[in-house]
Amino acid sequence: MASSRLPNDLAYSKQVLDCIYTFGLLMARLFLAPMDFACTGMIAMSMRELDRLKVIEAVTEARLMPWRAAERLGISRRQVERLVLRYRESGASGLVSRRRGGASNHQLPAGLAQRALEILRERYADFGPTLACEKLAECHGLVLSRETVRKLMADAGLWIPRAQRPPKVYQPRARRACLGELIQIDGSDHRWFEERAPACTLLSMRRSLLG
């Protein structure tokens, strides 16, 4: 039992040591070059970017081959070379994603979400997201994805996701003692006799053989 847990413990210890090493590098740069950090400010980096910083630093200091760094980061060798150039030009800030802080490519135009939400509250408050999405496109010319409409309705309290709904409670039915005792009845209202007689209900009865 102890031998099977040994590889996992070693992997966890390696991850802890890597984090301590990366944190030590950042602290060393902070105290050894205070003017540089004072001018550029603190840099917010994710754990993935911190790992990338450690690998690119090793490549820059000739402690790691570019092809090995590409395998470790899961990117191409040419991308590693571009990251090395950015690191030499801008330091650690060059490895931070350039899309951070910018507008999303899937961002809705200004006012579109508010207009769609007003229509949903006024006319389609009792609709589901799929049908409401179709009505917005057909009747109002607002083309939105179903997931966008679903999120708008959920945030506004017009729709409760299935994962957040309370579970339904069904009354259990005791099984009959013998097969054939259970009788199922169904009715259908219709003008079965057309104009010759008033509307009536057709009753269908059958005996269940499953109990």
pLDDT at 93: 76
| pTM of the entire predicted model | 0.42
Under DSSP, is residue 13 helix (H, G, I), strand (E, B) or coil?
helix
pLDDT at 117: 92
pLDDT at 87: 85
pLDDT at 6: 45
pLDDT single digits (tens) 108-164: 887 888 999 999 999 999 999 999 999 999 999 999 999 999 999 999 999 998 888
Kindly report the length of the chain. 211
Under DSSP, is residue 89 helix (H, G, I), strand (E, B) or coil?
helix
CA 49, CA 98: separation in Å to the nearest integer? 12
Q: Provide the phi-psi class of 34: left if phi over 0, else alpha when psi is between -120 and 50, else beta.
A: alpha
* Weakly modelled stretches of the chain, pLDDT under 70: 1-19, 21-45, 98-103, 208-211
Q: What are the C-alpha distances in Å from 167 to residues 60, 157, 172?
A: 57, 19, 15
At 184, which helix (H) or strand (E)? strand 183-190
pLDDT at 27: 60
pLDDT at 209: 61
pLDDT at 131: 93
On whether the CB atoms of residues 57 and 95 are closer than 8 A, the answer is no
pLDDT at 34: 40
Looking at residue 43, the DSSP 8-state letter turns out to be -
φ and ψ of 193, to 5 deg: -105, 15
pLDDT at 60: 87
On whether the CB atoms of residues 211 and 175 are closer than 8 A, the answer is yes
Question: Which residue's structure tokens are 């269908």?
Answer: 204
pLDDT at 66: 87
pLDDT at 28: 54
